[in-house]
Amino acid sequence: MNFSRRDFFGLAPDGGSAGRLIETALDQRRGAQPTRRALLQAVAGLAASGAVGARWAIAQDGQRPIFRVKVDMVVHSFQVTDSKNHYINGLKPTDFHIFEDGILQKIATFAEGTNTPIAINDDGTTRPLLDAKKDAMPGLDKPDAMIGTNVFVLFDTSNFMYRGFVYAEDAIADFVRGLDRADSVAVYTFSRNLSRASNLTHEHAEAITGLRNSVAGDDTALYNALLLTLRDAAKVPGRKVVIVFSNGPDNASMVAPDDVRAVAEDEGIPIYVISTSEVNKDPISSGVFRRIAQRTGGKAYWARTWQKQVEAFEDIREDMSNSYTITYYPQPNPNEGFRTIKVEILSDPGKKYRIRSRPGYRPSRSF
Protein backbone atom coordinates (compact mmCIF):
# COMPACT_ATOMS: atom_id res chain seq x y z
CA MET A 1 0.00 0.00 0.00
CA ASN A 2 1.06 3.62 -0.43
CA PHE A 3 1.53 6.01 2.46
CA SER A 4 3.37 9.22 3.18
CA ARG A 5 6.05 10.07 5.74
CA ARG A 6 3.33 11.53 7.89
CA ASP A 7 1.48 8.22 7.66
CA PHE A 8 4.62 6.37 8.71
CA PHE A 9 4.74 8.32 11.93
CA GLY A 10 1.08 7.56 12.57
CA LEU A 11 0.57 4.13 11.01
CA ALA A 12 2.81 1.11 10.97
CA PRO A 13 2.58 -1.14 7.86
CA ASP A 14 0.42 -3.64 9.74
CA GLY A 15 -2.09 -0.93 10.64
CA GLY A 16 -0.71 -0.34 14.12
CA SER A 17 0.70 2.93 15.36
CA ALA A 18 4.41 3.69 14.90
CA GLY A 19 3.96 6.56 17.30
CA ARG A 20 2.56 4.20 19.92
CA LEU A 21 5.41 1.80 19.16
CA ILE A 22 7.94 4.49 20.03
CA GLU A 23 6.12 5.60 23.15
CA THR A 24 5.54 2.03 24.33
CA ALA A 25 9.22 1.27 23.87
CA LEU A 26 10.18 4.36 25.86
CA ASP A 27 7.72 3.50 28.63
CA GLN A 28 9.30 0.11 29.23
CA ARG A 29 12.40 -0.49 31.28
CA ARG A 30 15.65 0.90 29.97
CA GLY A 31 18.01 -1.62 28.41
CA ALA A 32 15.50 -4.23 27.26
CA GLN A 33 16.92 -5.40 23.94
CA PRO A 34 13.63 -6.17 22.14
CA THR A 35 12.32 -2.74 23.12
CA ARG A 36 15.40 -0.99 21.77
CA ARG A 37 15.13 -2.85 18.45
CA ALA A 38 11.46 -1.91 18.18
CA LEU A 39 12.32 1.71 18.82
CA LEU A 40 15.08 1.81 16.21
CA GLN A 41 12.82 0.10 13.66
CA ALA A 42 10.23 2.80 14.26
CA VAL A 43 12.84 5.50 13.74
CA ALA A 44 14.34 3.76 10.69
CA GLY A 45 11.45 4.83 8.47
CA LEU A 46 12.39 8.48 8.59
CA ALA A 47 13.46 9.96 5.28
CA ALA A 48 14.03 13.32 3.61
CA SER A 49 12.74 16.72 4.61
CA GLY A 50 9.20 17.70 3.68
CA ALA A 51 6.47 15.50 2.22
CA VAL A 52 7.42 12.05 0.95
CA GLY A 53 5.72 9.11 -0.66
CA ALA A 54 6.63 5.57 0.29
CA ARG A 55 5.84 1.94 -0.44
CA TRP A 56 5.98 -1.03 1.88
CA ALA A 57 6.65 -4.28 0.07
CA ILE A 58 7.31 -7.88 1.03
CA ALA A 59 10.04 -9.73 -0.82
CA GLN A 60 9.10 -12.81 -2.84
CA ASP A 61 10.31 -15.12 -0.11
CA GLY A 62 7.69 -13.52 2.17
CA GLN A 63 10.20 -13.02 4.94
CA ARG A 64 12.04 -9.78 4.37
CA PRO A 65 10.13 -6.46 4.55
CA ILE A 66 11.42 -3.63 2.35
CA PHE A 67 10.71 0.07 2.91
CA ARG A 68 11.19 2.34 -0.11
CA VAL A 69 10.92 6.13 -0.05
CA LYS A 70 10.55 8.67 -2.84
CA VAL A 71 11.31 12.29 -1.98
CA ASP A 72 8.55 14.65 -3.17
CA MET A 73 9.64 17.94 -1.63
CA VAL A 74 12.59 19.22 0.37
CA VAL A 75 12.20 22.17 2.75
CA HIS A 76 15.49 23.96 3.41
CA SER A 77 15.81 26.88 5.84
CA PHE A 78 18.97 28.94 6.32
CA GLN A 79 20.37 32.29 7.44
CA VAL A 80 22.71 34.57 5.50
CA THR A 81 25.16 36.80 7.41
CA ASP A 82 28.16 38.97 6.61
CA SER A 83 31.65 38.76 8.10
CA LYS A 84 30.44 40.65 11.21
CA ASN A 85 27.56 38.21 11.71
CA HIS A 86 24.94 40.76 10.63
CA TYR A 87 21.91 39.29 8.87
CA ILE A 88 21.60 39.91 5.14
CA ASN A 89 17.99 40.66 4.22
CA GLY A 90 16.15 41.46 1.04
CA LEU A 91 17.61 38.71 -1.16
CA LYS A 92 15.32 37.35 -3.90
CA PRO A 93 14.85 33.87 -5.38
CA THR A 94 16.96 34.93 -8.35
CA ASP A 95 19.87 35.55 -5.97
CA PHE A 96 20.13 31.86 -5.12
CA HIS A 97 21.16 28.60 -6.68
CA ILE A 98 20.59 25.45 -4.67
CA PHE A 99 22.44 22.23 -5.36
CA GLU A 100 21.84 18.70 -4.13
CA ASP A 101 24.91 16.50 -4.59
CA GLY A 102 26.12 19.10 -7.09
CA ILE A 103 22.90 18.90 -9.14
CA LEU A 104 21.19 22.25 -9.70
CA GLN A 105 17.64 22.28 -8.36
CA LYS A 106 14.63 24.33 -9.42
CA ILE A 107 13.27 26.44 -6.56
CA ALA A 108 9.55 25.78 -6.06
CA THR A 109 8.75 28.23 -3.26
CA PHE A 110 10.63 30.99 -1.48
CA ALA A 111 10.08 32.92 1.76
CA GLU A 112 12.01 35.41 3.85
CA GLY A 113 11.30 35.65 7.56
CA THR A 114 7.61 36.09 8.28
CA ASN A 115 6.76 37.36 4.78
CA THR A 116 4.16 35.53 2.72
CA PRO A 117 5.84 32.76 0.70
CA ILE A 118 5.87 32.96 -3.07
CA ALA A 119 5.72 30.22 -5.67
CA ILE A 120 8.20 30.27 -8.55
CA ASN A 121 6.71 29.64 -11.99
CA ASP A 122 8.54 27.73 -14.72
CA ASP A 123 9.37 30.99 -16.51
CA GLY A 124 10.89 32.47 -13.34
CA THR A 125 7.99 34.76 -12.52
CA THR A 126 6.45 34.57 -9.05
CA ARG A 127 3.01 34.53 -7.49
CA PRO A 128 1.73 34.40 -3.90
CA LEU A 129 1.85 30.83 -2.69
CA LEU A 130 -1.76 31.05 -1.52
CA ASP A 131 -2.73 31.38 -5.18
CA ALA A 132 -0.84 28.25 -6.19
CA LYS A 133 -2.95 25.46 -7.61
CA LYS A 134 -2.77 22.22 -5.68
CA ASP A 135 -1.95 20.20 -8.80
CA ALA A 136 0.96 22.54 -9.52
CA MET A 137 2.44 22.16 -6.03
CA PRO A 138 2.56 18.47 -5.10
CA GLY A 139 2.85 17.90 -1.38
CA LEU A 140 1.32 21.30 -0.53
CA ASP A 141 -2.36 20.56 0.02
CA LYS A 142 -2.47 23.54 2.40
CA PRO A 143 -0.25 26.34 1.01
CA ASP A 144 -1.04 28.54 4.03
CA ALA A 145 0.88 26.02 6.17
CA MET A 146 4.06 27.60 4.80
CA ILE A 147 3.24 30.92 6.49
CA GLY A 148 4.95 31.44 9.85
CA THR A 149 6.96 28.94 11.87
CA ASN A 150 5.81 25.98 13.95
CA VAL A 151 7.80 26.29 17.19
CA PHE A 152 8.15 23.34 19.56
CA VAL A 153 9.55 24.27 22.98
CA LEU A 154 10.91 21.30 24.95
CA PHE A 155 11.31 22.26 28.62
CA ASP A 156 13.37 20.17 31.04
CA THR A 157 11.45 19.80 34.32
CA SER A 158 13.68 17.09 35.82
CA ASN A 159 15.24 17.28 39.26
CA PHE A 160 18.37 18.86 37.76
CA MET A 161 16.29 21.97 37.05
CA TYR A 162 14.75 22.53 40.50
CA ARG A 163 16.82 25.57 41.36
CA GLY A 164 15.95 27.62 38.30
CA PHE A 165 12.51 26.21 37.49
CA VAL A 166 10.45 29.38 37.99
CA TYR A 167 12.96 31.66 36.24
CA ALA A 168 13.09 29.28 33.28
CA GLU A 169 9.30 29.36 33.00
CA ASP A 170 9.39 33.16 32.92
CA ALA A 171 12.02 33.22 30.17
CA ILE A 172 10.02 30.77 28.05
CA ALA A 173 6.77 32.68 28.61
CA ASP A 174 8.42 35.95 27.49
CA PHE A 175 9.67 34.22 24.35
CA VAL A 176 6.23 32.84 23.49
CA ARG A 177 4.60 36.26 23.99
CA GLY A 178 7.07 37.78 21.53
CA LEU A 179 6.45 35.33 18.70
CA ASP A 180 4.97 36.61 15.46
CA ARG A 181 1.19 36.25 15.15
CA ALA A 182 1.68 33.90 12.21
CA ASP A 183 3.75 31.50 14.32
CA SER A 184 2.28 28.47 16.05
CA VAL A 185 3.80 27.16 19.26
CA ALA A 186 3.70 23.95 21.29
CA VAL A 187 5.11 23.56 24.79
CA TYR A 188 6.28 20.13 25.89
CA THR A 189 7.87 19.27 29.23
CA PHE A 190 9.90 16.25 30.20
CA SER A 191 11.74 14.47 32.95
CA ARG A 192 11.68 10.68 32.61
CA ASN A 193 8.56 10.95 30.42
CA LEU A 194 7.29 13.50 27.92
CA SER A 195 4.25 15.65 28.72
CA ARG A 196 2.50 17.70 26.04
CA ALA A 197 1.65 20.71 28.18
CA SER A 198 0.21 22.56 25.18
CA ASN A 199 -0.26 21.17 21.70
CA LEU A 200 0.61 23.26 18.64
CA THR A 201 -1.57 26.38 18.58
CA HIS A 202 -1.76 29.92 17.25
CA GLU A 203 -3.12 30.97 20.64
CA HIS A 204 0.09 31.93 22.40
CA ALA A 205 -1.68 32.62 25.70
CA GLU A 206 -2.95 29.04 25.68
CA ALA A 207 0.62 27.76 25.34
CA ILE A 208 1.72 29.89 28.29
CA THR A 209 -1.11 28.49 30.40
CA GLY A 210 0.08 24.98 29.61
CA LEU A 211 3.61 26.00 30.54
CA ARG A 212 2.49 27.41 33.90
CA ASN A 213 0.77 24.11 34.72
CA SER A 214 3.98 22.10 34.32
CA VAL A 215 5.30 20.24 37.35
CA ALA A 216 8.78 19.15 38.38
CA GLY A 217 9.81 15.56 37.75
CA ASP A 218 12.66 13.16 38.48
CA ASP A 219 15.25 11.67 36.08
CA THR A 220 16.18 13.20 32.73
CA ALA A 221 15.40 11.45 29.45
CA LEU A 222 16.22 14.35 27.14
CA TYR A 223 16.89 12.41 23.94
CA ASN A 224 13.81 10.22 24.34
CA ALA A 225 11.72 13.38 24.68
CA LEU A 226 13.47 15.08 21.77
CA LEU A 227 12.81 12.10 19.51
CA LEU A 228 9.10 12.16 20.35
CA THR A 229 8.98 15.93 19.81
CA LEU A 230 10.56 15.50 16.37
CA ARG A 231 7.99 12.84 15.60
CA ASP A 232 5.20 15.33 16.34
CA ALA A 233 6.91 18.13 14.42
CA ALA A 234 7.39 15.92 11.36
CA LYS A 235 3.62 15.54 11.06
CA VAL A 236 3.19 19.29 10.59
CA PRO A 237 3.68 20.81 7.11
CA GLY A 238 5.74 23.95 6.69
CA ARG A 239 8.72 25.30 8.58
CA LYS A 240 9.48 23.90 12.04
CA VAL A 241 12.02 24.54 14.79
CA VAL A 242 12.59 22.80 18.11
CA ILE A 243 13.95 24.70 21.11
CA VAL A 244 15.39 22.59 23.92
CA PHE A 245 15.69 24.23 27.34
CA SER A 246 17.73 21.98 29.63
CA ASN A 247 20.70 21.89 31.96
CA GLY A 248 22.37 19.08 30.06
CA PRO A 249 22.88 15.70 31.74
CA ASP A 250 20.74 12.82 30.48
CA ASN A 251 20.52 9.78 32.76
CA ALA A 252 17.43 7.95 31.48
CA SER A 253 17.26 7.93 27.64
CA MET A 254 17.24 4.75 25.57
CA VAL A 255 18.27 6.42 22.31
CA ALA A 256 21.64 7.89 21.39
CA PRO A 257 21.86 11.66 20.79
CA ASP A 258 23.43 11.22 17.35
CA ASP A 259 20.52 9.02 16.27
CA VAL A 260 18.11 11.75 17.29
CA ARG A 261 20.27 14.39 15.60
CA ALA A 262 20.13 12.39 12.36
CA VAL A 263 16.32 12.37 12.53
CA ALA A 264 16.21 16.17 12.84
CA GLU A 265 18.77 16.54 10.07
CA ASP A 266 16.79 14.35 7.69
CA GLU A 267 13.52 16.09 8.56
CA GLY A 268 15.00 19.57 8.09
CA ILE A 269 14.09 20.68 11.63
CA PRO A 270 16.65 23.07 13.20
CA ILE A 271 17.29 22.46 16.89
CA TYR A 272 18.20 25.31 19.21
CA VAL A 273 19.56 24.33 22.62
CA ILE A 274 19.63 26.59 25.68
CA SER A 275 21.64 25.01 28.49
CA THR A 276 21.52 26.38 32.03
CA SER A 277 24.80 24.65 32.80
CA GLU A 278 28.32 26.01 32.43
CA VAL A 279 29.88 25.11 29.10
CA ASN A 280 32.94 23.51 30.74
CA LYS A 281 31.14 21.83 33.63
CA ASP A 282 29.77 18.99 31.50
CA PRO A 283 31.96 18.84 28.35
CA ILE A 284 30.24 15.71 27.04
CA SER A 285 26.76 17.26 27.05
CA SER A 286 28.17 20.55 25.76
CA GLY A 287 29.79 18.77 22.83
CA VAL A 288 26.57 16.92 22.01
CA PHE A 289 24.56 20.14 22.15
CA ARG A 290 26.98 21.88 19.79
CA ARG A 291 26.91 18.98 17.33
CA ILE A 292 23.12 18.70 17.31
CA ALA A 293 22.67 22.43 16.79
CA GLN A 294 25.31 22.80 14.07
CA ARG A 295 24.23 19.75 12.07
CA THR A 296 20.58 20.80 12.02
CA GLY A 297 21.08 24.51 11.30
CA GLY A 298 20.32 25.72 14.83
CA LYS A 299 22.43 27.23 17.62
CA ALA A 300 23.55 26.27 21.14
CA TYR A 301 23.64 28.67 24.09
CA TRP A 302 24.94 28.43 27.65
CA ALA A 303 22.86 30.65 29.90
CA ARG A 304 22.97 30.16 33.65
CA THR A 305 21.19 33.38 34.60
CA TRP A 306 17.68 34.49 33.76
CA GLN A 307 19.04 37.47 31.82
CA LYS A 308 21.25 35.23 29.66
CA GLN A 309 18.30 32.92 29.02
CA VAL A 310 16.16 35.84 27.89
CA GLU A 311 18.98 36.98 25.59
CA ALA A 312 19.25 33.48 24.12
CA PHE A 313 15.53 33.41 23.35
CA GLU A 314 15.74 36.88 21.79
CA ASP A 315 18.56 35.66 19.56
CA ILE A 316 16.50 32.64 18.49
CA ARG A 317 13.51 34.82 17.69
CA GLU A 318 15.76 37.11 15.62
CA ASP A 319 17.22 34.08 13.86
CA MET A 320 13.74 32.87 12.92
CA SER A 321 12.64 36.27 11.60
CA ASN A 322 15.79 36.61 9.46
CA SER A 323 15.74 33.19 7.85
CA TYR A 324 15.13 32.19 4.26
CA THR A 325 13.12 29.07 3.41
CA ILE A 326 13.36 27.40 0.03
CA THR A 327 11.52 24.31 -1.16
CA TYR A 328 12.35 22.20 -4.19
CA TYR A 329 11.50 18.88 -5.80
CA PRO A 330 14.79 16.97 -6.18
CA GLN A 331 16.09 16.22 -9.65
CA PRO A 332 16.77 12.54 -10.41
CA ASN A 333 19.62 11.37 -8.20
CA PRO A 334 20.77 7.75 -7.78
CA ASN A 335 22.28 8.48 -4.36
CA GLU A 336 20.18 6.78 -1.67
CA GLY A 337 22.60 7.74 1.10
CA PHE A 338 23.45 11.16 2.50
CA ARG A 339 22.78 13.95 0.00
CA THR A 340 24.59 17.24 0.48
CA ILE A 341 22.73 20.53 0.08
CA LYS A 342 24.62 23.64 -0.95
CA VAL A 343 23.19 27.13 -1.30
CA GLU A 344 25.03 29.54 -3.60
CA ILE A 345 24.40 33.30 -3.57
CA LEU A 346 24.75 34.64 -7.11
CA SER A 347 24.77 38.27 -5.95
CA ASP A 348 27.83 37.62 -3.77
CA PRO A 349 30.65 37.01 -6.25
CA GLY A 350 33.25 37.86 -3.64
CA LYS A 351 31.94 35.12 -1.32
CA LYS A 352 31.71 37.53 1.59
CA TYR A 353 28.44 36.14 2.91
CA ARG A 354 28.08 33.14 5.19
CA ILE A 355 25.25 30.62 5.08
CA ARG A 356 24.19 28.59 8.12
CA SER A 357 22.02 25.56 7.49
CA ARG A 358 21.98 21.78 7.76
CA PRO A 359 24.52 20.11 5.44
CA GLY A 360 22.07 17.70 3.85
CA TYR A 361 19.75 14.77 4.45
CA ARG A 362 19.21 11.06 3.82
CA PRO A 363 16.44 10.39 1.29
CA SER A 364 15.59 6.84 2.27
CA ARG A 365 15.95 4.08 4.80
CA SER A 366 15.24 0.42 4.21
CA PHE A 367 15.11 -2.66 6.38
| pLDDT tens per residue across all 367 residues of the chain | 233 333 334 333 333 333 444 555 555 544 444 344 444 445 444 333 333 333 333 334 444 444 444 557 899 999 999 999 999 999 999 999 999 999 999 999 999 988 888 989 888 888 887 765 554 566 555 655 667 899 999 999 988 776 777 888 999 999 999 999 989 999 999 999 999 999 999 999 999 999 999 888 888 999 999 999 999 999 998 899 999 999 878 888 999 999 999 999 999 999 999 998 877 777 888 899 999 999 999 999 999 888 999 999 999 999 999 999 999 999 999 998 999 999 999 998 878 999 999 999 998 553 3
Query: Under CATH, which number does the domain 149-321 receive?
Result: 3.40.50.410
What pTM value is reported for the model? 0.80
CA atoms of 217 and 160, how far apart (whole Å): 9
CA atoms of 257 and 58, how far apart (whole Å): 31
Helix (H) or strand (E) holding 185: strand 184-190
Contact (CB, 8 A) for 120 and 346: no
57-93 in b/e form (b: 16+ CB < 10 A) is: eeeeeeeeeebebebbbbbbbbbbeeeeeeebeebeb
Q: Is 70 helix (H, G, I), strand (E, B) or coil?
A: strand
Three-point CA angle 158, 21, 39, nearest 5°: 70
CATH 3.40.50.410 domain position(s) in the chain: 149-321
Could you tell me the sign of the dihedral formed by the alpha carbons of 135, 140, 143, 146, in that order? negative
